[in-house]
Structure 1
Amino acid sequence: MKKTLFILAMGLLGVSGVQASVTLVSGFSRFDQTSPGSGTAASDLGTTALSWTLNDATWNDDGTWTSNATNAKKNGLDVSSLNLSGASGYTVNINFAKATGLDNQDSIFCASIGGTGNNSILGRYETGNKIGIANDGASGGRPASALSNAISFTDPFSLTLSVEAGGNYSLFITQNGTTQNIYWNGKTQAGLLNTLYIGCWGSLPNYQCSPTVSGLSFWEGAATQDDLAAIINVPEPATASLGLLGLGALCLRRRRK
């Protein structure tokens, strides 16, 4: 009995983090409005809790939120307490329900890295319905989208930033079960991940976006393409817990027999 309960407890702590190469640290599967015009959420996935308050977003009844597209506004989450570093490798995944209102040079994913020099990675929209990477906010020389398939921004998709130990990184874009990969050869980000921004990066007029976020998660270790299915489809805690409790009940029943 005690052994079974111990296994259940460990399973609840490590749910969705069972991949060999990556471990789930923290994440959000639902965002709720706390008062008109503002909302907050506490991480409900992984072992490290974060609180995220968003004051400039539209809060949706289905637990998603939509970034305000005006005046190049973006919402930032302080993730420095997670101690995710490019020196050892980490992964950030964002699930988008949609990303409407995109125009050339918009950005919908920004990771700010500590230190000097190259201290930011942007996943940004390119002409032709593609996603590219900007390193340190630079436009010149970035990968020319490098995607063979256009992304439908009116449908759900995921952006996954995977930083290998030492700082080399890739950006995976997944939609309808198809994953595409972009990387910037020779560019590295070995510093501590301090802030995640979702929304617009620059202050360019008429270049705004309003992505709708349905979930995000942070992982220790660099995700491979084989890991992506588990990372992108992180189950809601209630669903995962019920599944594990059901499994535990079945084990106890068999022991009694």
Structure 2
Amino acid sequence: MSDALSEEFFAEVSDKYYPQVLEGLERLGAGDVAGGIEVLARPLHTIKGVTGFMPGFESASTFTHKVESFLKKLQSGSLPHSADNISLAAHGVNSIFAVIEQLRDLGAPDQDEIDAVCEVLAAASGEGNGTACPAGGRCLRVEQEPGRALLYVTAPRIHRKHQRDQIVGAIIGQPQETPVVLDLAGVKTFGSSAWEDVSALAGHWSISVRGLAGAARETFHASDMDALLAVLPPDAPAGEAR
């Protein structure tokens, strides 16, 4: 992917489209669903169209279309504006840019990741087979409480990129003034790359962790995350770190 057309496209993604997408995601996370999706629609529609005409980029166009369809269902009200659906929308949008990065860096996307996201989008839209958490599917549940957002990680092991992207997407989907609690009570291992992804957001969101145990706790401290993320006791109100 080194020709002039693709290089120009990658530059526009970085300099033009991604800043617009960040604005849209911030609005979405702040509860302005209609406004957020309206902002997102412009860059995503352009990405879908451009990649559809670029040889080797067709998978990005098809995937963007799937994410667009989910956003349109949220916008029309045919899907509820639940915390899980908002989080999934943010994850889908972020996954588009992950696919573009894979095309740029590797020459091809990770089709397994694309398929996993598409399967979860379809299931949330009522188009899936109804099975709970298929392999490669959702790994967390988002609940809103007064004054904070709770992100319950439901997979026992967090290492793969699509899992990390879901967690990052769920955090980005929250207003920056809302404290985020990452609940890992059922998690056995949480990879260092996952901690790095979460800690990269700590300067913009107030992120706490609770339920740390076993290898997940060891990796947390080995990665010096305690300097960036507060540790909460079980069921503690946001802000009560130890």
TM-score, normalisation: structure 2: 0.25
Higher strand share: 1
Q: Which has the higher contact order (CA 8 A, sep 6+)?
A: 1
Higher helix share: 2
Higher CA-based Rg:
1
